[in-house]
Structure 1
């Protein structure tokens, strides 16, 4: 089940909200957990058992860690329990997500013909595994106390707003909210509006601009001009942004409707002035997770230049691998690791003197090249597409098909670029000053119209991919 489906918007969500608020506060967590398990079982009826097993085992690991003391023998036992927790969680992730990659890599290196197939990838396993790992790490470090209620721990792992595509919510961030939370009507309304904004991003923007990329990618290389290649990869950059930031908006809005406060996951990343800044604005929760649980424990930037490079290489290797079981994702991660390393050691001081437009152009160029590595699982195809972008094969700069497509998608391009900027928020503030007390009524009417428009698209369109569901 995806958030941008008619069933979710007009059946699952209304029924869940009705039951949540009508059955009394003492049953709200039960209702939310039951709804979350149903939500997951709708698309993964077998793998809900895997998630249930993960919940029970990690709950037990937490209680064991909490029961052990601080003397030397107890510390060794705690370390052993931690290792067992890591082996279980990372082992499950490795088996279901990376089994095929491991087998194919071993076969290619050894020249063997291995035919074993990879298991189906459970939805959201990368996200909920990081949730369980953050809990185990934080209990081990005594940053949080182990959760004594299996119900509340299960709710933390299985909560449907952030279950299958984030944002990654660390246990410490919502520990207190699991047991006690409240929602006023203005807060619920704010969450509903945030959900509608995310839904519109996904359905009206990501899906429509994504059609251009799907058309370009389907063309034979000989039929793609330089202009069309750039138009296509820019379309993909906009699609993946609105796809994932739209999902994050929906998740944050849904959480708010049920009394939870999730951290922001995007802050206008394409307005960044460097690659380092871009990754402080893009998928913020993933970057924060790797920083806290990998980069800082390795020593961060405190241990000298070479260890800094080692730490960055390790983090970005894992970041790429987290995104998918294919070597193009590893290459994509290392590409950004190299770019960030170069900035930290060589470029940042000189970049401060560059004109702002030059810094922004530099960032956009590097990010677009990175999206090519991300999107093409076949390295040869990816390098071939980069060759077209930079006219390495003598392709035409501009041709008639490119102009036709640009004309057809011109309005969509313009709306997407504006929506990816702070422009809409600034315009809303200006309108608020003009309308004064009438502003709230105008906003309510606007959200109603947006819901009708989005619904019409969901009814009529068959193109509704969710890029980050494959992670």
Structure 2
């Protein structure tokens, strides 16, 4: 079940909200939410329910044993991490490892054909963070298994984040009473996310999929660049749209999840980009991998490369994901090496503006190139596509012109996306807020939200469905 499906929008979500608002007891409210979250996860893959139940049991018992056997905390933590990673490895990386061995040694071990449970990377990381935080003393052991289960399986962020820490919602599991302010803010945020997905991401997906499906031999330089730029827009609005919907649903239920994006495409370097993109994952790797490895104190550049290669591997069981992670890590290392070596002399305002423009161009170029590595099915295909973008290996007779992929609707949607990326809607909101009365502003805001919702629903009902990109992780 996905947030942009009619079953979710018109059946599952209203039923869940009604139950949470009419049930007055927090205990029974949590039980209702836990049941509905299990239904959500098992809707399309009921035979995989045992996996998330196993994750709950592993992490609940591990934290509990830490409190009972203080002198064995390190051993318990080690076993908990190993069990979590083994579960993740089997379902996500076993076939990848077998294929790698086959390719490396010319052998033919049969692949298992394992189907990846949706969201396994997210709920595995959440479970591990709970156990690690208990070990560090950052959170108290939760002795009620149903509360640990609710934390891990809570449906808004279950399959595509943001990765929520137990410490962030520990109090809200026991004490939450969402009022009209939370409900209204949650609906608005959900509609914004749904609009990002249904209107922008799905429109860009149609362009991207058509270009990639046509084959590289049918690309010109312009078409290849169109495909890469459209994918940059698709993946941002797809993933940030899901995060907005998750945050909005959480708000309606009384939970306050962390922000996951902060306008990443306005970044001036790759270091800044990763502070703004998938913030919950970046902070997870920082706190649980980068700092334990030594952080900035020792082996800085080694730590950065390890973290970003693991980030790539987390995204997918394929070498092109690892190379995508290394690509980002390489530029972050270079930026770190160059930091502090610039001249301290002041520059005039015109030069400063020029340098900022060049920095934005540099960041967008690296990001966009990286997304080609991310989108391709394998590294060889990514290299061919990148070659086409730079005029290498062009077909003498491309099958289509760029006008085949671009119509008025695509141009309008791209313009809306770019206007949003540069902060146009934020400034428009501030402008209206400053110049309108409270009543007039509320009416305009309500009309805008309902307008977006109706247009998004029309897109959903018209069959322009694409699964969320991050569901595969």
8 Å contact kept, 2:202–2:464: no
- Aligned residue in 1 for 2:348: none
Aligned residues, how many? 462
Deviations 1:402-451 (A, max 9, x none): 14434542212111111223110110111122321211122112222222
8 Å contact kept, 1:327–1:377: no
Deviation at 1:221, TM superposition (A): 2.1
Query: Equivalents in 2 of 1:348, 1:185: separation in Å?
Result: 49
Deviation at 1:383, TM superposition (A): 0.3
402-411 vs 47-56, which deviates more?
402-411
Q: Does 1:147 align with 2:147?
A: no
- Aligned residue in 2 for 1:465: 467
Deviation at 1:349, TM superposition (A): 4.6
Query: Equivalents in 2 of 1:220, 1:32: separation in Å?
Result: 46
- CA spacing shift, 1:355–1:202, aligned 2, 3 Å: same
Q: Does 1:411 align with 2:419?
A: no
8 Å contact kept, 1:317–1:333: yes
Deviation at 1:399, TM superposition (A): 10
8 Å contact kept, 2:33–2:150: yes
Deviations 1:252-306 (A, max 9, x none): 0011111111110000000000000001000000000000000011111112xxx
Equivalences for residues 57-96 of structure 1 within 5 A: 57-69=58-70, 74=71, 77-96=72-91
- Aligned residue in 2 for 1:283: 278
Deviation at 1:395, TM superposition (A): 6.0
8 Å contact kept, 1:226–1:396: no
Query: Equivalents in 2 of 1:219, 1:40: separation in Å?
Result: 34
TM-score, structure 2 as length reference: 0.94
- Aligned residue in 2 for 1:260: 255
- Aligned residue in 1 for 2:55: 54
Other structure's SS at 2:141 match:
coil
- Aligned residue in 1 for 2:424: 423
Query: Equivalents in 1 of 2:367, 2:391: separation in Å?
Result: 19
8 Å contact kept, 1:373–1:379: yes
Other structure's SS at 1:296 match:
helix
8 Å contact kept, 1:135–1:171: yes
Other structure's SS at 2:116 match:
coil
8 Å contact kept, 1:233–1:371: yes
Other structure's SS at 1:300 match:
coil
Q: Does 1:45 align with 2:46?
A: yes
Aligned CA-pair RMSD: 1.8
403-412 vs 114-123, which deviates more?
403-412
Q: Does 1:433 align with 2:412?
A: no
8 Å contact kept, 2:205–2:234: yes
- CA spacing shift, 1:456–1:372, aligned 2, 3 Å: same
Mind listing any 5+ residue stretches in structure 2 that lack a counterpart? 345-351
* Alignment partner of 1:208 out of 203, 206, 211: 203
Other structure's SS at 1:46 match:
helix
Equivalences for residues 190-229 of structure 1 within 5 A: 190-229=185-224
Q: Does 1:28 align with 2:29?
A: yes
Q: Does 1:231 align with 2:226?
A: yes
- Aligned residue in 2 for 1:319: 311
8 Å contact kept, 1:85–1:136: yes
Q: Does 1:131 align with 2:126?
A: yes
Deviation at 1:230, TM superposition (A): 0.6
Query: Equivalents in 1 of 2:12, 2:145: separation in Å?
Result: 25
8 Å contact kept, 2:220–2:394: no
TM-score, structure 1 as length reference: 0.95
8 Å contact kept, 1:89–1:133: yes
Deviations 1:182-214 (A, max 9, x none): 211011110111001000000011001111111
Query: Equivalents in 2 of 1:319, 1:53: separation in Å?
Result: 24
Other structure's SS at 2:415 match:
helix
Deviations 1:126-179 (A, max 9, x none): 000000110111111111111111111110000000000000011122111111
Other structure's SS at 1:113 match:
coil
Mind listing any 5+ residue stretches in structure 1 that lack a counterpart? none
Query: Equivalents in 2 of 1:423, 1:21: separation in Å?
Result: 36
294-303 vs 234-243, which deviates more?
294-303
